[in-house]
């Protein structure tokens, strides 16, 4: 097993004004190292560096997808990040005056959740995530859009009585990061995400390298989703200000919120950080169009 204590590439960068803290590992580190870093620091991705230069990135979803397809029986501390990491990085140079706008456009174009920031020498300078752009939108663009303008009405759901194993299978099958949880009448009861599974994982307590790291060690088919969802239900209405929804995501550290019809709490959609990024990428172009319209004779 690779000894990461000898690895000079494993470190955490100081946060910059424009980005989240960057947690990094080497390509020689393992899936076990990456999962432990993600769980400990409440993050969804780690940057892979060599001599302070970014050479790849690994996310929660990258690990899940790899393990689904990997036919070997290797433990998680036997699989290196070199095998999993995405090498075609989407980057931006530091100190751009329109940093968030450029990052939002890149995220939408390439369907990624983060943009690596580099300096003039190509060294890792930071990382900008959907969380950063969502926070910027919440503080800057109040009153620009409503939730219904950008929410997604096609939502993958599960019942609170469904098993944890079934919920995880739904997440993987539909290639999503969250499920909206409802009762038998379609009333929203909460949200369960891949990060929920990681936070509750017994993998780290048992000191085992089991590939079923996201599921309880015993009888995952008998334990229900209701055990892991929060008792306080976070929802928004479709006519709510999108900036307020973005602020709720940041305050509650969630990546998406169910959208409901308030009179009966029936699910009508979901609004996510990615939806807010889409809105951010449109704010300035829409503003320019409106300005032209106002000045048109």
Portion of the chain with pLDDT greater than 70, in percent: 88
pLDDT at 292: 53
Between helix 60-69 and helix 31-41 the angle, nearest 10°, is: 150
Better-scored residue on pLDDT, 13 or 226: 226
What pLDDT, in 10s, does the model give residues 188-223? 999 999 989 988 888 877 666 678 888 887 777 789
> Alpha-carbon distance 216 to 223, whole Å?
9
Give the mean model confidence (pLDDT) for residues 34-60: 94
Residue with tokens 């926070």: 135
Q: All domains of the chain, ordered by start, with CATH?
A: 4-140 (3.10.580.10), 147-279 (3.10.580.10)
Question: Which band of pLDDT confidence, cut at 50, 70 and 90, is reported for residue 126?
Answer: very high
What pLDDT, in 10s, does the model give residues 109-121? 999 999 999 999 9
Note the Cα 15 to chain centre separation in Å. Answer: 18
> Alpha-carbon distance 63 to 48, whole Å?
14
State pTM to two decimals.
0.86
* Of the candidates 258, 269, 268, 261, the residue with the CA atom closest to the CA atom of residue 232: 258
Q: Tell me: pLDDT of 226 over 80.
A: yes
CB–CB of 22/57 below 8 Å? no
Q: Which element (helix H / strand E) includes 128?
A: strand 124-129
């Amino acid at each position: 097993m690779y000894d990461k204590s000898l690895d000079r590439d494993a470190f955490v960068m100081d946060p910059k004004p424009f980005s989240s803290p960057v947690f990094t590992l080497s390509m020689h580190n393992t899936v076990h190292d990456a999962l432990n870093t993600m769980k400990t620091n409440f993050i969804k991705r780690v940057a892979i560096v060599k001599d302070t230069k970014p050479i790849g990135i690994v996310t929660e979803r990258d690990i899940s997808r790899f393990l689904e397809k990997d036919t070997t029986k290797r433990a998680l501390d036997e699989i290196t990040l070199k095998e999993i990491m995405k090498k075609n990085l989407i980057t931006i140079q530091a100190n751009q005056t329109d940093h968030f706008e450029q990052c939002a456009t890149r995220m939408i174009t390439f369907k990624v959740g983060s943009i690596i920031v580099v300096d003039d020498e190509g060294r890792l300078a930071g990382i900008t995530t959907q969380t950063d752009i969502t926070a910027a939108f919440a503080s800057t663009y109040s009153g620009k859009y409503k939730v219904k303008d950008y929410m997604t009405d096609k939502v993958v759901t599960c019942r609170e009585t469904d098993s944890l194993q079934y919920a995880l299978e739904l997440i993987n099958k539909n290639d999503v990061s969250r499920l909206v949880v409802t009762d038998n009448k379609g009333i929203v009861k909460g949200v369960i995400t891949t990060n929920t599974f990681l936070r509750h994982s017994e993998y780290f307590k048992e000191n085992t390298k089991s590939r079923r790291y996201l599921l309880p060690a015993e009888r995952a088919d008998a334990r229900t989703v209701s055990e892991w969802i929060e008792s306080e239900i976070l929802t928004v209405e479709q006519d709510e200000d999108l900036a307020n929804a973005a602020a709720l995501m940041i305050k509650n550290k969630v990546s998406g919120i169910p959208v409901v019809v308030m009179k009966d709490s029936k699910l009508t959609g979901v609004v996510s950080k990615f939806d807010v990024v889409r809105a951010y990428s449109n704010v300035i172009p829409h503003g320019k169009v409106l300005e032209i319209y106002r000045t048109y004779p």
